[in-house]
Amino acid sequence: MRNKIFVLLLAALVISAPIASSSLAAGKESFGTKVKNFWKNLIGYPARVTEESASVVADTTKRSADVVSKSVKRVGEVTTGDVAKTKELITEPIIGTTQTVVKAGLGEVKVPSEALKDKNKETGNIPAQTEEK
Give the C-alpha distances (Å, rounded to integers) separating 92 from 32, 106, 123. 56, 21, 38
Give pLDDT tens digits for 57-92: 999 999 999 999 999 998 998 888 888 888 888 898
Backbone angles phi, psi at 117, to 5 degrees: -70, 140
Q: What count of other Cβ atoms lies within 10 Å of the Cβ of residue 89? A: 19
Alpha-carbon distance of 90 to 88, in angstroms, equals 5
- 3-state secondary structure (DSSP) of residue 130: coil
Give pLDDT tens digits for 4-45: 787 777 777 777 776 666 555 555 667 777 777 777 777 888
